Amino acid sequence: MDEMIQRAIDESIAEVSAVKGRDIYLVEADVRGGGRIIELTVEADKGVSIDQCAKLSRTIRACLEACEENLMLAGGDFELMVSSPGLGEPIRVPRQYLRHLGRKMKVVYLDSEGERKEFEGKLTEASIEGDEPSITIEPVMKGKKKKTSGREPLTLRLADIVKAVVQTEW
């Protein structure tokens, strides 16, 4: 990603976070077409609202349009989309696990022999700091009462997780 675009994103996120009192962070950035299309996915520990996405979009746009070194950006000749992760989107950054503590997840991971396994349960712990960040998932039986299944909780290193998706409960 262009350094100027990255700087505008970082500064704008810091500014909007300070004003809104929420610590917004970047989950994913996709810049295509030589910088003409910029798609950002942002999150906050307590969730990010549509209003926050709109405010962030306006702030980033103003910052980019103020970049006189890049005529395309200064002229506003680019498309900018700012959104939050949608339902069913996989977790992309470790910090997202903290937001989803207590929620049901489906995790695809590599076991000690490198074999792909799948596990579904409630995220009960997330340790994202240190040398070996990890999560703990407690299995839950399906059904109305959702008691534990009798299986042991599973602790996984984040490095072993292939994909983790929060499950929607209706």
For residue range 85-114, what is the model confidence (pLDDT) as tens digits?
Answer: 988 899 999 999 999 999 999 999 999 999
**3-20 vs 50-65: helix crossing angle, rounded to 10:** 140
Fold equal for 3-83 and 95-166: no
Strand partners, 104: 122
For residue range 36-69, what is the model confidence (pLDDT) as tens digits?
Answer: 899 999 999 888 889 989 999 999 989 888 876 7
**% of the chain with per-residue pLDDT over 70:** 87
- Confidence class for position 136, pLDDT limits 50, 70, 90: very high
Other beta carbons within 10 Å of 108: 14
CATH fold, domain 95-166, is SH3 type barrels. (2.30.30)
Phi, then psi, of 97 in degrees rounded to 5: -60, -40
* CATH node for 3-83: 3.30.300
Domain limits, the chain: 3-83, 95-166
